Each structure stands twice: as C-alpha cells, then as structure tokens.
Amino acid sequence: MADRPQGSAAQGDNRPTLSLHVPEPKFRPGDTVDFSHIDVPEAGNTPRPDETCDPATMRDMAFGLVRVLGDDNKAHGPWDPKLDPDTLRKMLGHMAMTRAFDERMFRGQRQGKTSFYMKCTGEEATSVSASMALAGDDMVFPSYRQQGILIQRGYPLIEMINQIYSNKGDKLKGRQLPIMYSSREHSFFTISGNLATQTPQAVGWAMASAMKGDSRIAATWVGEGSTAEGDFHSACTFATVYNAPVILNVINNQWAISSFSGFAGAERTTFAARALGYGLAGLRVDGNDALACYAAEQWAANRARANAGPTLIEFFTYRAEGHSTSDDPSGYRSAQERNEWPLGDPVTRLKDHLIAIGEWDEDRQEKMDLEAAEHVKKVTKEAEANGILGHGLHHPFRTMFEDVFEELPWHLREQSRQAIREREIKFPGGLDQ
C-alpha cells in the first residue's frame, strides 16, 4: 500500500496529484476502424545491413518495417531473397495445408472431438516462411501457434491429430494439452503452456551447441504479450552476454488472450526495440509478407552461424481469429479489424505474387486448397479410428506410471499396483488396464 507516512502533511500539499495510466486499445466492439496511424513503408525501401554488423549501427531497423512484396505484388529491394518459383509454390502449399488443418481441427473442437484448439490464421508466414529459412536440424522452440513449422518439416498430420484428440495413438500418451506438440526427430522442442519458458531454453540450447562446436543454431517463437514475462528478459540477457547462436522471434499479432499489445508495452515503442537495451541485433518485419519473413530469418540465421551474435525479430502481423476455441474476440475488439488490417493476408499476398510473375493462377490455387482440405479430411478420419475425446479409446491406465523413471521406484510400483487393482474392481474386465 502506498499510504502516506504518519506526520506528512495531508492538507496544503502543493505537489501535483498523480494518476495511473491504463492502456486502452484504439477500437472496441462497434467502433469504426482506422489503421492510418500505422506507418507502412514502401516495399524495398529498408536497407539490408551486413549480417555481421555491430547491432549499434542498425538502430533504425527496430523502428522501420522490412517489406519485400509491394502493392504490385512484385518483389522489391535488397531484402528480396530471390527464391525460385518451385520454392515459392512449396511455401504456398505449406501455408495452404496449415490453413486447411486449422479449419478441420477448429470444426472438430466445435463437434466435441477435442477440448481445445488454437488457429494461426493470418500468421502462417511467421512460422512456415521463417522456418523454411532454417536448416532442417536447427532446433526450434515454438509457442502454441507455430503448427506451420511441423507441417513444413514434414511431421505426419495424423500424429498431430492423435495428440489433439488425446486418443490411443497419441505418442505423448495424454501427457500434454492438445496442440502442444513435441518431436525430437523434427528438432521441435516440446511446447509449454507456461508463457515464455521456451526463450531461455532456446538460448541455453544454443549456448550448449556453441560450447560443443556444433553447427546447429536455435530459434524460438513467442507472442508479444509474453515479452512482458521475466523469462524473456533473462533470455535476452544470456543471449547477449554469451553471444548465443539464437533467433528470438516475437510474433506481434496485436492481441494477447483478450488484452491488446499495449499491456506489453506497445504504446511506448516497438517490440523490436527491446533489442536495443540488450545490445541485440533487432529487426522489425512485415509478418504478412512471406518473402520478408524468409529473408529476415535467413539473415538472422546467417548471423548466428557466423558467430556474430543473436537476433531479435519482431514480426508485425495480426491475429485474425480468436486466441483459441475458448475465446470470442467480438467481446473486446471491433469486427472490422480483420478486414481493415493494412498488411493484408499472407496466403493471398504470396499467391498474388506467384500470379504476378507468371508462375501460378487462380485455378491452381483452388485446386491446391481443395486437395489440402481433402487430405486433412482423410487423415482426420484415420486418426478418429484411434478415438476422440470422451469415447474411451485412450492409452491403458497403467501407462500413467511409465516414461518418467528408467526404473520405477518402489513407492510408485506400489501406487501403480493399488491403482490398477482399484480400477479392476470398478471396471471388472471392461477396460484395458
């Protein structure tokens, strides 16, 4: 309590009265949306510094916006990664598959087949395009909206769905929440529901890689709201002090669960500016520009591999859907925001770019979308044969005591026998023990 000390003058004090500032979003439900306050520079206007430059020389990069795709749907400027058409089509395919997967899983949650799901609609480029700029064995430490990385790296969709449905095919045996995937084979670190814990883990892993003289780097993804967590700032400190070969990707999608980015500091400065106080290289990037996302991640990866230090990238994007299936954004933001967002949709922009350079057309896009939807539907049916939420098809009860200790301690063996015995009494012969 900030109570006045006894003996202080309560009257006649000529000092000004203090007031507490509480951030408030510009638009609430029913408001007319006007994003004219957002400075969107021309594509190609942002310089591309040398990958081994001193972070102090790139201060302006934290306040600008790296953009490649212009209003003419062509690539412009020094950040153009000059990807060949086949790579661009592959990138578009991964984004289309991610979107189709999201739609099917969202529908499954509404049908009661799983308890929870989170879509990444409008943010696909920040995971798909960015991860394509990394080596396949670079270790990634994602947040819970980077399903596009697993899809891009070829992780079987059926494994993702089995976990979402928590069925008998779930490799994690129900030990994780839906959508919190893990795959050592795909260098995909276990997702944590605790915000920002992945950032110091990524830095620590990168430090270990450097200590061993390995060639692999680490990259982590975190929402802008999570940069207010202490773990994020600890990660920045260790990354700078030990020159860790790591990329800190901040996904600024304007909204945390139901609070806008101002509560994490967006009213005062950019999230890329967090890098300045730590001596990190900082980039602010158009997160709905697939080519800019790729180019920025590639720049940061090359910098890390050259032992030139870590990079913090702010991907400036927009969360087009709710925070999760448990969220209704119409209760706290204007319904017009999604359509008025000035940076458009990442899938549409990449598609239009391919069309503009004569390497794609609307018919092929329609076919791609349909094939992606049909593939996800087919795999979902296969996964549903392993069970869905509440239908009893799950891992045997005894497995809850497995996979923690190499050799089960005596007291857990005793608890296991007791638990299984009580279950047999309650469900005699009716359930797999």
Domain identity same for 336 and 418: no
> In the prediction, which pLDDT does 13 show?
77
Predicted local distance difference test score (pLDDT) of residue 299:
98
* pTM of the predicted protein model: 0.94
422 and 359 within one domain: no
User: Same structural domain for residues 299 and 406?
Assistant: no
Is residue 294 located within the same domain as residue 403? Answer: no
Q: In this structure, are 195 and 315 located in the same domain?
A: yes
The residues near 95 (Cβ < 8 Å, ≥ 6 apart) are 124, 125, 128, 129, 148, 290, 346, 347, 350
Q: Are residue 303 and residue 422 in the same domain, yes or no? A: no
For residue 242, give the nearest of 196, 205, 273 by alpha carbon. 205
Q: Which two tokens stand for residue 365?
A: 């896009």
**Gyration radius from the chain CA atoms:** 24
Do 219 and 316 reside in the same domain of the chain?
Answer: yes
Give the residue among 197, 171, 194 at the shortest CA–CA distance from 184: 171
Domains in the chain, number:
2
Starting from the edge strand earliest in sequence, which strands make up the sheet with 246-252, in order?
139-141, 218-223, 246-252, 311-316, 281-286
**Contact assessment for residue 252 and residue 286, using Cβ atoms and an 8 Å cutoff:** no
pLDDT at 429: 67
Q: Same structural domain for residues 244 and 141? A: yes
CB 128 within 8 A of CB 152: yes
Mean pLDDT for each consecutive 10-residue tract of the chain (433 residues)? 61 86 94 95 97 96 98 98 98 98 98 96 98 98 97 98 94 90 97 94 98 98 96 98 98 92 93 97 98 98 98 98 94 94 98 98 98 98 94 81 89 91 80 54
What does DSSP assign to residue 228?
Answer: G
Contact criterion met (CB below 8 Å) for 229 and 143: no
Range of the domain at 421: 397-426
Quickly list H helices, 272-345.
274-278, 290-305, 337-340
Q: Return the amino acid letter for 305.
A: R
